[in-house]
Amino acid sequence: MQLIVEPRPATANVQFIDEYCQWYQVLFPEVRNFEPFKQLHLGLISEAKRKMLPTIAQVAKLDNAQSLHHLLIESPWQTSAFRQQCLRLILQNSGKREIVLVIDDTGDRKKGQHPDYVKRQYVGNLGKIENGIVAVIA
């Protein structure tokens, strides 16, 4: 006789985050990949000034940022599938209305090389190439 184990449901979070993230659960094969996805969203909308993984882990009441790091670096979800799901949801909810896509490439000037993703790059709010961190948000 083969024992069948049902996966446990994801731990509840803030209700509107849970409802939003539920649309993307199909992209995550295991709950251990889906929960950090929800926790990442919680941290991103928090009032924390720095949206870095250790800070987000604190906001989400995690012992460390390892699960968030794993989600971004090693988790089996696919960026292309995520983008397709985003577009599907936008089109589904917009109906025939026009959509405006806003791309924000603002960034912050940084000295030194810490954290790892500080590089010489175009920083939108400076209007030139500088040592900095840039996030492109669409």
Domain housing 129: 101-138
The verdict on 32 and 78 lying in the same domain is: yes
pTM of the predicted model as reported, rounded to 2 decimal places = 0.66
Q: In the numeric block, which tokens belong to residue 49?
A: 């000034």
- In this predicted structure, the answer to whether residue 115 has a pLDDT above a threshold of 60 is yes
Per-residue pLDDT at 67: 93
Domain tally, the chain: 2
Span 65-107, pLDDT tens digits: 999 999 988 888 888 898 899 888 888 888 878 877 776 666 7
Per-residue pLDDT at 8: 73
The verdict on 87 and 105 lying in the same domain is: no
Report DSSP state, residue 65: S
Task: State which of 78, 94, 110 marks the end of a domain.
Answer: 94
The verdict on 78 and 108 lying in the same domain is: no
Give Cβ neighbours of residue 55 (< 8 Å, ≥ 6 apart): 43, 48
The verdict on 38 and 61 lying in the same domain is: yes
Per-residue pLDDT at 84: 92
For residue 109, the SS3 value is: strand
